[in-house]
Structure 1
Amino acid sequence: MSNRILETFKLSAIALSLVVGLSACEGDDGATGPAGPTGAQGQTGADGQAGADGSDGMNGENGQSASVLTRLATVPTGAEVTGAFLTDEGDLFFNVQHPSDANSLTESVNDKAYNKGTVGVLRGVNFNNLPKTIVSSPVPVTEQERQVVVSALGEYQIIGQTNDTFAELGDKGLAGGLGVHYGIVSGDKIIENNAPDFNGYVSTGDGEGYLFTNWESYPGGVSRLKIEKDTQGSWSVTEAMMVDFDSVAGTAANCFGSVSPWGTPLSSEEWIVNSSVNSTTNASWNNPADTGTDNMEALTAPDFPNPYRYGYTVEITEATSATPTPVKHYTLGRYEHENSTVMPDRRTVYSSQDDTGGVLFKFVADAAEDLSAGTLYGAKLTQDAGSSEPATTGFDVTWVELASSNNATIEAWIAEYDGIDTSDYVEGKTSYMSLADVQAWADGDATYPSEADGGSPVTAGQPMDDRAAFIESRQAAKMKGATAEWRKLEGISINHDRALEAVGGVESIAEEDVTEAYLYMGIADIDNTLIDNEGDIQLSSRVKDCGGVYRAKLEANYDLARIEPVVMGGTYRSSLTGALRCDVEQLSQPDNVIVMRDGRIIIGEDGFQENNTLWMYDPK
């Protein structure tokens, strides 16, 4: 019997039983019959049509990759890391500044003790072609490690040390000694400088060029070493000299610097113009009872030094000639210059003031590659509302125009103070520009105030001019509304090729498409005027003396409109002493920074650690 007939029969029987059951109103139900066998399963039907695809879900937020600090090297006991400079060929120079005199141990590479100021390079490695991940060099543990340079890559080669004469070079040596300074008039030795700072390399061909090094002291100076690299990456000196600054009355405390896009070193005078936020040039400078002039009188004896001749950016022109020529650019302003960095437009220059209550300055030259004339600006900062944590708080930036002028005009103003000496000193007054003078300029007065009204004797009652902007630049900027609250605003840096591609639209980095570039700034201390709950900057004191690094995106025309933190030191532990105050695995008073071609940054420390570190940081 077919399944269909069987199913029909079963349904008929059921229907008949229902009829019978319903007709017997009072009868008992019959017993349930046994269940029949289960029928075979029927064939599976065809699949139905697939439904339409649903709409895509929303993308999740991008995650943040961890930023990495890598310890590239440590320097010997007592020293700070200075002079980091990366060449186009990938050579990384840096210095060991004022190491401990007690360091006596040596290593096989140099066989020299690190107890003098030392200029050197990490040989055998191309820093323009590094892997993404590098194993950090160790925190020094043994006495041997504490007294030498320990590096994660390459070998540190000493190029020169304080007082080296390079006698083997004959008349191309340096009889006076590397880093040694002499009086302009007397010719007497003033100081054997133990503090090499900035390095700037000017190439003259593959594997050869001139290495310029700042020697930071009072007075200061710059050395120039002609150096060559062999096929194994080792460097040798073929010529040595100290640059002659007699034509500009010498220099004071040559600190960090840069090399301009047209190949001239820019050396910075970080001479203490005046450490007081609320003052102009120290009124006691020519006080006969207090004649300490930071050794500057030894440069110009028997003349008394004019303080307005120091505190500028000095360009070394004709850098590769037999007689390099220094030019002081008064146009960039007078203050404690840490360094000045020129943008790829060859006109815009950013400069940092390394002091308490300092200003971030901008200068725009009238013509490219000519810093002798232009306009000076000071940065006005607006802190993020409701935020004070250093690691997350940024600032919007606007620029306050100070004045326009040129070197010749400013030098003529400076010369008016040349004849002042101790005989001109009057108790309670100043022989130089006064706060009243600067305020009158800021207020737009037609004339300088009289002496009775607080003016200085040089300008009293005279028609107003713009000298205040260029020889008392911090007070001028502050009175015009710029923010004068930075504390130890140290080195500032860009990578020229990254900036040129991102802003100038010129493809320079073959390895990537660069759409954004940044100017980086080292801040040694997040302290004092940054955390005093006054003015434009009001940060917390958590980081304090451990410091940090900020950056500012380069906008159209190389403008800066926003400054933000990149990496901060750890929490400052004031209850502890010595190196323990800042975490050895984090930043400890970053000094100068340089930007690599791949966007990573190199940071030199001047901190509490027994062995300061040269760090590499990946902001990506």
Structure 2
Amino acid sequence: MVDFTRRQVLSQSVAAALGASVIGVSSGEEVEESDTPGAPSVKGELKRLSTTAFGAEVTGPFVFEDGSLLYSLQHPEGENPEPFGRAAVGYFSGFQFTFNGSNDDFQEVGVPDTEEKQRQVRSATGDYEILVQGREPINGGEERLGVTQTPDGTDVTPENFAGAKGGVGAGPDCNQFVPTNDEGTEGYLFTNWENVPGCISRVPLSQDENGEWSADTENAMNVVNTEAFRELGGTRTNCYGDLSPWETMISAEENYAHARVHRTATVGDIVEAGTGVGLLGGCQFWNRPNPAGIVDAINTYAENGDISEAWTPQGAWSQIGNEGLAYYLGAEPSDNEDGENTTTPIDDVYPNPYRFGYFVDIRKPAAETPNPIKYWVMGRAAYEAPDIQGDRKTVYMCSDGDSKGIYKFVADEPIDSYENTDDIAGTLYAPKITNDTASVAESDSRNSPAQTPLEVEWLELGHATNGEVESWIADYDEVTQADYLEAHAETDWQEDTSAAIKEADLEVLKNGNQNYITNEEIVEWATQYEQNGPDGVDEDLRRVPFLETRAAAKEIGASIEFNKAEGVDTMDNSQPGDFIYFGISEFNDGLADDEGDIQMDRVDGGVVYRAELESDYNVSTLEPVITGPDFTDSPEDADDALRNIDNVYTMRDGRVLCCEDGFGGPTRSYPNDGLYVYQPNVIVSAGSAAVGGGSTGSVPLTASSLPAGFSGARLTVSVSNPDIASITGVSFPDSLGLTEQSVSDDGATATIRVADVDTNVQSGGMDVPLATLDVRADSGGTTDLTVSVEQMDDESGTAIEAETRNGLIVGGPDTIIGDAAPTDPDGDGHFEDLNGNGRLDYEDVQVLFENMDSDSVRLNVGAYDFNENGQIDFADVTELYEEVN
């Protein structure tokens, strides 16, 4: 968030509103004369549903089963008129989404062009009704909403404890509703409160017969104020989250304090330089007495010549609150002077840094005391958001902040199938961007992020169980502030605390904090990783990528360059072929510098990427679909563009709620953040199939959705190599009244015309069938099935702007054993049935293992590349074995 004062922003925005037109470009229209081509632009339609009150972000959107919408009013300015001057969670009374895929179900709200409009939550379709507000009494008056307490019930606030972080109860973020009845009209609303110590509240909600929601604050609770949470170490900066497929709240810990190195630096840089000056991140001062004081101390050391330069270590500001966490856990408060924190070390109870930066799953959400678990095995970061896929094993994760990452975790089995959560096992991955077009190093000029997809490979960091990682973390549970002084200073801190702190600081600045994982351990892990792979490192080094995820990923060359990765989401129960969306709030710094795998034009307004889930829930291409303003244009040009994406929320009809986190920044005639709804373009897709030699198979041709209905279309489908496969015929669903098709003599092209004369194809459907292609495999190999949309109209006759997705035909491979040809029993485009007996069984795994080098396999990569890495290898055998089991 850009740091603008209230007066500056108001004067600028009101002047712009009064002195110039506030009619911006139509939603999604590309602005001309932009320094970065395509900034701002959108592939589809973007429509503003709401603007929030002055000073507040739009966070925590949630859509109920009936289409009702709520979101959080996060940290609004206190001078806003009531009720918009306090943090709150509210819903839009009188409005429900219709889930037909069209943005026609709501009116767009205009820009807030007066101070009165800027100081309230606005929508043109419903009234924002407050359900709960931060710091209000709950639980019979025993607690305040969003406020964490010590074990004896004292609020952890600066008023009560020096060293505690302010802003308590002002930052509601993620909201997830867990229903307790079949109708979905009663249940619990779980809300994250973004602070240190972190807080998660649970509030009973109910809906009356008129569709209005109400909250029961008397029976609400802050679930973190329980012994179950303290046993985990508590939580920190609870930001966004997810509703799990097993209907529990997943809360993400946005642990900015975890940064071990500064921005683009690596641990290897520090070891090579022989000093951490200018390179260390703030986490190295986690257990320093008064950790937030390190910035002033560094400036003093530089002025006195003790170090060569001054800098502000990344994440140093986020060390504020560490001592508040200690008091939450039961530490005895150290002395303070007039409410100011001192450097008297806490030496009894102190938080373990490796216990923060994870996902908290609140199991048994309706129990009197919910049962929290942390997914230690998913790595440690400044996690803004997770997204669990429909296989219940694959998780995509975004880490917020400068030069951070997106990560992937894949469990061995469905996560909720483990009886003991300590046994959850899986593999942690970091991304590697591989396409040359993403880097200026391969071209004379930088490419625009609006026009450049990112090709992704996933680097395996390590494999472990949840219990293993927690046991590694527990090794650091007893470390206190006194240990910082005793490990790094020869001076007795009890005799001269100031001298001991300076001596310890200078030692840590040079060689790092020896109380935790050392720089040398991380470099040694990376060395062994490069030599032996992720499974070939020493046992005592296996902890490194799980506890120091960002530093480890950087050390092996992962693309940890994303700036403010703040959102990731798919539709609930996502399936292969569905889209997953990643929100990058700012495309700058590590993404637009002269280093690394990504070196493109700068777009300070951010980018939303879309990726298609592959058959194994992997994603390999991030496609830009929304690009924000680059902050060089006149304000009115960006009035209707998405600026600084935060949360993304994919509804069940494929539309995406896009929240803004850019309050007070440049490039607009008004300062307020807004909630937008993204309606994707219609996508016409050809399916894929594996067809045995001389045999015929079928391939569906579908439209992703038709939100404005459908009157007709003219399409062409072509086979890129008709020697491998050919089109032999076309059939149509009964719902289409008039149809016509012609296939070329060589089977290379089919021309299709359809008309919905009886209006049977209704708006709102997903994966609408248009035709079925009959294809014949004439030889072994693969060929593309290319779709071209020549004309496509909605019910009113308006042209539909459609994108296309091509299919793939895998032509019949030769027999491997015996006379029976391999088959594709599940229709996913791979020949799992290698022995040709019509089913997948263990013998198929054995056949592949014994015949990997045979021509019948090597010449048909597409048929047997089960892990989809473009080659035949032992991983394909492993993948097929896992399918059998």
Tell me whether the two structures share a fold, i.e. TM-score over 0.5: yes
Residues in 2 aligned to 1:476 and 1:616: alpha-carbon distance in whole angstroms:
37
**Structure 1 residues 236 and 373, CA, compared in 2 at 3 Å: closer, same or farther?**
same
Q: Which residue of 2 aligns with 1:294?
A: 320
TM-aligned CA deviation for residue 159 of structure 1: 0.6
Aligned length: 511
Q: Does the aligned pair in 1 maintain the 2:150–2:328 contact within 8 Å?
A: yes
**Structure 1 residues 581 and 189, CA, compared in 2 at 3 Å: closer, same or farther?**
farther
Q: Which residue of 2 aligns with 1:241?
A: 221
Determine whether 1:175 maps to 2:142.
yes
Q: Which residue of 2 aligns with 1:161?
A: 133
Determine whether 1:87 maps to 2:64.
yes
Q: Secondary structure at the match of 1:319?
A: coil
TM-aligned CA deviation for residue 180 of structure 1: 1.2
Q: 2:541 aligns with which of 429, 448, 465?
A: 465
**Structure 1 residues 445 and 85, CA, compared in 2 at 3 Å: closer, same or farther?**
closer
Q: 1:312 aligns with which of 350, 358, 362?
A: 358
Q: 1:562 aligns with which of 608, 618, 621?
A: 621
Q: Does the aligned pair in 1 maintain the 2:43–2:626 contact within 8 Å?
A: no
Q: Which residue of 2 aligns with 1:284?
A: 285
**Structure 1 residues 150 and 384, CA, compared in 2 at 3 Å: closer, same or farther?**
farther
Determine whether 1:343 maps to 2:389.
yes
Name the amino acid aligned to 1:217: N
1:423-458 CA-to-partner distances (Å, cap 9, x unmatched) read 333123312212321121122189xxxxxxxxxxxx
Q: Secondary structure at the match of 1:226?
A: strand
Q: 2:673 aligns with which of 605, 612, 617?
A: 612
| Structure 1 or 2: more helix by fraction | 2
Name the amino acid aligned to 1:124: G
Q: Which residue of 2 aligns with 1:407?
A: 466
- Give unpaired runs (5+ residues) of structure 1: 1-63, 105-111, 167-171, 447-461, 504-515
TM-aligned CA deviation for residue 294 of structure 1: 2.3
Name the amino acid aligned to 1:415: A
Q: 1:536 aligns with which of 587, 590, 597?
A: 597
Q: Secondary structure at the match of 2:458?
A: strand
Residues in 2 aligned to 1:530 and 1:340: alpha-carbon distance in whole angstroms:
22
Q: Which residue of 1 aligns with 2:428?
A: 376
**Structure 1 residues 384 and 601, CA, compared in 2 at 3 Å: closer, same or farther?**
farther
Q: Which residue of 1 aligns with 2:253?
A: 269
1:272-297 CA-to-partner distances (Å, cap 9, x unmatched) read 11172335772222334646642232
TM-aligned CA deviation for residue 571 of structure 1: 2.9
Q: Which residue of 1 aligns with 2:45?
A: 68
Residues in 1 aligned to 2:393 and 2:626: alpha-carbon distance in whole angstroms:
29
Q: State the identity %.
A: 37
| Equivalence map 1:198-597=2 (5 Å) | 198-205=174-181, 206=183, 207-238=185-216, 239-244=219-224, 245-272=229-256, 273-274=258-259, 276-277=262-263, 278=265, 279=280, 282-288=283-289, 290=291, 293-297=319-323, 298-300=327-329, 301-302=331-332, 303-370=349-416, 372-383=424-435, 385=437, 386=443, 388-425=447-484, 426=488, 427-428=507-508, 429-430=512-513, 431-444=515-528, 464-497=540-573, 499-500=574-575, 503=576, 516-541=577-602, 543=603, 545-573=604-632, 580=635, 583-597=638-652
Residues in 2 aligned to 1:401 and 1:391: alpha-carbon distance in whole angstroms:
29
TM-aligned CA deviation for residue 65 of structure 1: 11
Name the amino acid aligned to 2:328: L
Name the amino acid aligned to 2:148: H
Residues in 2 aligned to 1:227 and 1:214: alpha-carbon distance in whole angstroms:
16
- TM-score when scaled to structure 1? 0.78
Q: Does the aligned pair in 2 maintain the 1:79–1:98 contact within 8 Å?
A: yes
Residues in 2 aligned to 1:290 and 1:242: alpha-carbon distance in whole angstroms:
27
Q: 2:657 aligns with which of 594, 602, 618?
A: 602
- TM-score when scaled to structure 2? 0.55
Name the amino acid aligned to 2:173: D
Residues in 2 aligned to 1:444 and 1:66: alpha-carbon distance in whole angstroms:
44
- Give unpaired runs (5+ residues) of structure 2: 1-40, 158-165, 266-279, 294-318, 333-348, 438-442, 489-506, 531-537, 682-885
**Structure 1 residues 152 and 173, CA, compared in 2 at 3 Å: closer, same or farther?**
farther
Residues in 2 aligned to 1:552 and 1:531: alpha-carbon distance in whole angstroms:
21
Q: Secondary structure at the match of 2:621?
A: strand
Q: Does the aligned pair in 2 maintain the 1:400–1:481 contact within 8 Å?
A: no
Residues in 2 aligned to 1:422 and 1:121: alpha-carbon distance in whole angstroms:
44
Determine whether 1:97 maps to 2:83.
no
TM-aligned CA deviation for residue 598 of structure 1: 2.1
Residues in 1 aligned to 2:636 and 2:42: alpha-carbon distance in whole angstroms:
28
**Structure 1 residues 463 and 398, CA, compared in 2 at 3 Å: closer, same or farther?**
closer
TM-aligned CA deviation for residue 132 of structure 1: 3.9
TM-aligned CA deviation for residue 382 of structure 1: 1.8
Residues in 1 aligned to 2:236 and 2:646: alpha-carbon distance in whole angstroms:
19
Residues in 1 aligned to 2:292 and 2:451: alpha-carbon distance in whole angstroms:
46
Residues in 2 aligned to 1:287 and 1:466: alpha-carbon distance in whole angstroms:
27
1:216-246 CA-to-partner distances (Å, cap 9, x unmatched) read 0111110111101112221111331111322
Residues in 1 aligned to 2:239 and 2:109: alpha-carbon distance in whole angstroms:
27
> Once superposed, what is the RMSD of the aligned Cα atoms?
2.5
Name the amino acid aligned to 1:114: F
Q: 1:113 aligns with which of 83, 87, 98?
A: 83
Name the amino acid aligned to 2:375: H
| Equivalence map 1:115-194=2 (5 Å) | 115-129=85-99, 131-133=102-104, 134-165=106-137, 173=140, 175-184=142-151, 187-190=154-157, 192-194=168-170
Q: Secondary structure at the match of 2:470?
A: helix
Q: Does the aligned pair in 1 maintain the 2:43–2:625 contact within 8 Å?
A: no
Residues in 1 aligned to 2:126 and 2:579: alpha-carbon distance in whole angstroms:
28
**Structure 1 residues 291 and 550, CA, compared in 2 at 3 Å: closer, same or farther?**
closer
